[in-house]
Structures are given as structure tokens and as C-alpha cells.
Structure 1
Amino acid sequence: MKKQLIRTACITSPLISFIVVAPIFIVKTDVQYSFMTLWGLIFFATFLCWLLNYWLLHRIHQTWVRFLISYLSFLSVGTVITYYVKVIPSQSHLSPLQILLYRSLSLLSINLIIAVLIDLISSKDKQLSLNKEIADLKFANLEAQYKLLKDQINPHFLFNALNISKSLIRKEPAAAEQYLLLLADFLRSSIHYNQKSATLADEIHLGNQFITLQKIRFGEALQCVTHSLDGNMNKQLPFFTLVTLLENAIKHNAFTIERPLYITIHAEQDEVIVSNNKQPKFVLHSEKTGLKNINERSNILTGNAIQIVDEEDSFTVKIKLL
């Protein structure tokens, strides 16, 4: 604000001084002082008026009191200048009362212009500060929402992973041991990447690790292919998005070696697209928490909701890349 006021004062003071001095040289025939001398004096007084109003702005909150003090001070300076400089000539037909009125109104107009400009700049500065505070609060709120949503992911995933481990331990102890080793590597990677967002390259890496885990359980009944990702690998998307979509596809579909589940991950322009063929199985209860979570986190991160295309034989989710 201070810099803006000084800049405005430096621009307006010369202009105001010119407007005040020019008519005097147009009307008067016996000019005692040069144009530049009078202009310099008025410029000096006007600039002092700016400084005085700025100084009062931080000490007096009532506008009319601030204006009255600045005007009386400016009037005193202006009276001294006009008295010694003889701005209005002695042979003027104006009476002393008219001269006083002219001087008072001129100085009042200058001070009013300066006071209004200072109030406008001050109001704008306060509004900008308020907008910044509101924006900071909104950002803090979004950060809190995002953290809450992100914290929902790991417990949900771990619950499913432990259930799979339990099932494998009973039926295939060797496979269960391999599964637990891969799960440990996967969790280590997910902790390493556990940020607000991740690059598509990081998400693909976690997705591949997840598919490797699931293949221990499902074998060739589960097929996952990635393609057309070049040029988008460094773009951002919400962390753990692809793993959640892969997990959803496995959860909601029945598949065998004879009727595999095919999942494809590819990118088009600034979107990553995850698709799978539909072979629905009965799920006792589903609140679609995973998709809601991804949608809300995508809204916070990119400002775009995910797109869901649910057709008879396929299910597709499109996520905006940042």
C-alpha cells in the first residue's frame, strides 16, 4: 500500500500543481515569480498534503476528523505560500473575502481529491488482504479435506490385503509367503510415494506392483495392459488412484482363466483412462467409497470431476491429469 500511495502521489501532485498554477499565468499580467517557481511551491505543498493524509490514516480512524485535520493543516501551508508569493495580484478586483474564499475552496478541492484517493487505495488494499485471508482459509480447508480423504485409502486397502493373505495361508501357504513379501515391497513403495499427488509414472509403478500381487491369487485370469502413456508420465493425479481403480475392477467382477478380466490403462491428451470388461458378480454391499474418494480428491487437486462411462459390456473411468 505504501508504495502504491507514493507512486500515486508522485503522479498526481505535478498534475494538480499544473492545474492550479496554469490559470494564474493565463489571467495575470504582472507575474512576480516564474511558472516553475510557483509550480514547485504548489507541488511541494501538495506532496506534503499526501504525506500528512497518509500519516493520519494510520492514527485516526474517523474519516471526517482525519479530513478536517489535514484540511486545516493544508490551509495553513497554502495561506503562507499565497501570502508571501502573492499569487493573486494586488490590483485584482477581488475583495479580501473573495480571495480568502478562492484560496479556501482551491485548497479544499486539492485536499478532498487527495483524501478520496487515499481512502480508495486503502479500501482496495484492505479488500486484497481480506481476499488473501479468505483464499488461505479455503486452501487450508481443502488441505484438511484432502488429508481426510487420503487417510481413508490405506486402511481400506490393508483390510482387503489381509483378507487375501488369510485365504492364501489356508489354501496355498507357499503363495501366501510370496504374497506377503510382495505386499511388504508394495507398502514400502506406497509409503515412499505417499504425497498429495503422484506422477503418472509413480502411479503406474504402484499399479504394476499391485497387479503382480493379485496375479499370485488369480493367475492368468487377470490381465492388465498399459499403452499410449508417453508424454504424460510426468503429469500429476491424486495419489493411489490407479490402485484403487484396479482394486475396484477386481472386487466387482467375476473372472476365470476361461473368462479373464481385462484391464487397460492408457492416456489421451491430458486424461488417463482405465477400462475393464464387465462380468459383474454379486456384491453384498457397496457404497462406492473408492470412486467417491477419487472423485473428491480429483476435484480438489485439478478442479475436475472424474468421468465414469458405465456401459453394458465395459466400465471406464477418465481422470484429468495436471
Structure 2
Amino acid sequence: MPGGLVALLDDVSIIARAAAASVDDIAAAAGRAGSKTAGVVIDDAAVTPSYVTGLSPARELPIIWSITKGSLKNKLLILLPAALLLSEFLDGAIIYFLMLGGLYLCYEGAEKVIEKLGGEKHGKTVDDVIEDPVRFEKERIAGAIRTDLILSAEIMAITLNEIDLALWWQRGIALALVAIVVTVLVYGTVGLIVKMDDVGLHLAKKPSALVQKFGRGMVAFVPYLLTALSFIGTIAMLWVGGGILLHGTHEIGLHGLYDAAHGLEYAIQSTTGALGGVLGWLSYAAVSALLALIVGGIIVFVLHKVFKLGHETGAH
């Protein structure tokens, strides 16, 4: 009996060590994958503040919380199971779903650029008279969650591509870890950004003249920050959307656009010295955004001029 008990304990210890090693592998894989999604995370953080710009300050955090819950549902209830099923049974189909998401980002980004250049607006904006604030708020939340779905799909796809875990449940845990950390990071940051003016007003009432000055500076800075983030968000959608299309066409065997974009990147990188890396990357991002603007512009024309469809996200 003692020998059997010792053998059992040995077996338990082996299982425990294997489980611990699995946890370490999952954590390491999630960390590597999370670092690879940094660009898309920044894009997501840049896009989201535009959905609360111009609305009542009292509704900003509730709206962000609603978007946060929607983002978690996107990642954990829709994208995670879909990613696991695709990776298990239809690994080659992932690229086509990514390209559909890329087309949507191209469309969204191009539509915003066209509107900024004086083109026809589609859906209510914060500059219009809002007759039903509750409905308008719901539309903006829905628009934010739809855009989040595309960006979250890209994050999950990058994560899935980066993790090297054989078992489906390990991949699932790694995906869930990245999803939760990214969501908290993005929407926590967004919450801080949109409440900066309230913090500034609070500081402006403090006895210290220096603190008051700093608070007033924060209040004055917020509108410029939100305008900049709105601009960055539009550029980000075009950059990410175009990049998805370039990568996707390359993956399915159409190499021309991808090779041309990387050829330009390498040419600039090799001829600009110390700044080569940055300028090369910027050239590739610019080509991606230009491609997205062209493709998105075509989609906007077809949807709004040919099929006469309106855009009712209310997210402009």
C-alpha cells in the first residue's frame, strides 16, 4: 500500500508539473501574441473616443461601459469560439474572414474622409439636431461595437497566428487572456481620455494657483486631443484595412500589390540611413492607407450611389 501511495503521489506530481508547464506556455504565448497586437490596440483606442465626442459628459462613462461589455461579448462569445473552430477545422478560411473585415474598415475610413472633404453625410452626426437622444446614443454604441468587432477580429487572428499551442483548450485560454487584457487596456485608456476635462475642472477649483493653471490647461487641451484622436482613428482604419487586404491577397496567391508595397518599403529603408526603418514602415503604411481609400471609395460609391443604401450607424 505505501508503495502504491508513493507511486500515486509521483503520478500526481508529474501531472501537476505538466499542468504548471502548460500554464507557463499559455501565459508566454499570450504575452508574445499580445505584443504583436499593439498596433491594432492603438487603433482601437484611437477610434473609440469619437463615439462619445459631443454627447453629455454624464453619459460618457456609461456609454464606454456599454461598449466595453459589447467588446467582451465580441471577443469571448463570438470571436473566440469562431477562432477555435476555424483553427481546428478550417484553418485556411481565416484569411478570407480577415479580408471581409478589412473591406469593412476600408469602407468606414473612406466614408469618413469623403464626408470631411464635403461629401454627402450618411446617418446622424453630433453636428446635427438630435431629436431622440436615447436612440442616437444607442446607435452610436451599436456603431462602436460593430467597429470593435472588426478590430477585435484582427486582434484575435493575430493572436491565433502567433501562439504555438497544440491543444485547442490552451489556444482558447491564451485567446481569452489577450481578449480580456486588451479590452481593459483599450477602454480603460479611453475612459481616462474622455474624462480628462472633468479632472481638469476639478483641479481648477483647488487652492493652489499652479494646480489651477494645470487644470485649466487640461480642459483646454482635451478638445484638441479628441480632434487628433478622431483623425488618427480614421487614418488607423484605412491603414489597418489596407494592410489586411495587402496581406490577404498575398496569402491567397495574388502577390503583385504586396510585393510592390514591400518593394517600396525596402527601397526607402535602404536609402534613408538611420531613419530607414521608420520611413520604410511609414511608406508601407501610406500605401496600405491609399489602397484602403481607393477600395473603400469604390464600396461607398456602390452602396450609396448605385444601391442607394444609407449608413445608419450614427457613428460619425
- Larger Cα-atom Rg: 1
Give the number of the structure whose residues are more often helix, by fraction.
2
Higher strand share: 1
